[in-house]
Structure 1
């Protein structure tokens, strides 16, 4: 496990302390869970962006294929 020094804004610290009292968990555990949650959030956001890009590429390809089929149908080949 790594050790790090962390500076928090006073307001964030006070709010965190209230949550810790309510949940009854250690500050270290809470911060670990928060960082893990945010890492997973960013990973999913990155995947969503990649899927969006891939979908756009497939969409363009599908439109090209549809245009080719339309042309073949107009020519009576299909």
Structure 2
């Protein structure tokens, strides 16, 4: 299995895993208030239940609060992949 292609410049793929579809939608709504985004796609999150929600956000078109947060939190360039990420 090959890793997925990275999104185009200025875009980020977001994966939300939550205990319920409503919680996943609430998190996606917060992201949409800060960034332009695509239509969300949801999937079951495994045998225990829950929901996985996927969406793509455009980080080049942000609301003012998000822009100031993004500037303050620029990465140092180190790859920080979590152990449970593919």
Q: TM-score, normalised by structure 2?
A: 0.22
If asked which structure has higher relative contact order (CA below 8 Å, sep 6+), I would say 2
Q: Higher helix share goes to which structure?
A: 1
Q: Higher strand share goes to which structure?
A: 2
- The structure having more radius of gyration, on CA atoms, is 1
